[in-house]
């Protein structure tokens, strides 16, 4: 069995399930809060956002004797990004948050590749698929480039780099299909679905920051982001129940 599915559940899952329920509960409160008006919305956001990733990390660590530390590291960097991006209008905070998520995606990429036979063999179909993902990364950047002017002109390189790595993360999540025979299709799909949720979330976030916000966009951003982190983490764990 490949490393992707080598995690073993602990005998006592009570603690891990507590943190899983805490993550779901906090996520529901956080997303629901985005439909409310300020100042209640801001209070809920401030109270819940810093707790979301710690709850998911605790679930990840307690639910298996053999956590994937690359995944845990990616979740931790996501937490740093969550906290600093609570102040997106502060330039240094934006760059720190962007860098945190960028390195976090790099850790996810490494985990995906280490979990497969990718380094030994790359089928033609997988190599050809790279062109489609490269086009997606280019389209992401080209769409936002006209809006990266004025005070946002210095963000062209960071946004281009981020678009490239998040699409690369999605591409490499499919590498589990290489050498992944005999494993559950459901768990094979989780990281890839999570990566797509990440792309949707980050596209909407960039649209909010650089183009024009739309009603309830923050709720959709957080819903897809939290789904992304959970699906990627769960793909490296035993069944949660």
The answer to whether 234 and 186 are in contact (CB under 8 A) is: no
Lowest mean pLDDT among 2-6, 74-78, 147-151, 213-217: 2-6
110-125 per-position pLDDT tens digit: 988 886 666 566 778 7
Please give the model's pTM, rounded to 2 decimal places. 0.89
From residue 235, how far is each of 6, 9, 64, 185, 196 by CA, in Å? 11, 13, 12, 11, 14
pLDDT of residue 206: 93
- The DSSP string of 194-232 is HHHHHHHHHHHHHIIIII---TTHHHHHHHHHHHHHHHH
231 burial via Cβ count (<10 Å: 0-12, 13-18, 19+): buried
Radius of gyration for the chain, computed over Cα atoms and rounded to the nearest angstrom = 18
Q: What is the pLDDT of residues 199-229, one digit of tens each?
A: 999 999 999 989 999 999 999 999 999 999 9
Question: What residue spans define the domains of the chain?
Answer: 73-234
Residue 122 C-alpha from the chain's centroid? 25
Query: Residue 85: which of 216, 225, 195 has the closest Cα?
Result: 225
């Amino acid at each position: 069995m490949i490393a992707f599915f080598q995690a073993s559940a602990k005998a006592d899952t009570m603690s891990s399930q507590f943190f899983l329920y805490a993550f779901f509960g906090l996520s529901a409160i956080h997303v629901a809060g985005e439909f409310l008006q300020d100042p209640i919305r801001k209070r809920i956001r401030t109270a819940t956002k810093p707790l979301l990733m710690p709850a998911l990390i605790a679930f990840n660590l307690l639910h298996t004797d053999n956590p994937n530390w690359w995944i845990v590291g990616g979740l931790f960097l996501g937490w740093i990004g969550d906290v600093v991006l609570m102040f997106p209008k502060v330039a240094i905070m934006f760059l720190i948050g962007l860098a945190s998520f960028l390195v976090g995606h790099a850790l996810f990429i490494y985990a995906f590749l280490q979990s497969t036979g990718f380094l030994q063999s790359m089928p033609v179909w997988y190599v050809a698929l790279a062109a489609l993902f490269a086009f997606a990364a280019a389209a992401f950047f080209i769409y936002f480039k006209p809006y990266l002017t004025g005070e946002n002109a210095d963000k062209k390189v960071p946004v281009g780099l981020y678009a490239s790595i998040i699409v690369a993360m999605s591409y490499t999540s499919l590498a589990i299909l290489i050498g992944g025979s005999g494993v559950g299709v459901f768990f094979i799909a989780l990281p890839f679905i999570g990566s797509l949720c990440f792309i949707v979330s980050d596209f909407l976030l960039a649209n909010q920051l650089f183009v024009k916000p739309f009603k309830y966009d923050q709720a959709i951003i957080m819903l897809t982001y939290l789904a992304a982190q959970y699906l990627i983490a769960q793909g490296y764990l035993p069944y949660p129940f």
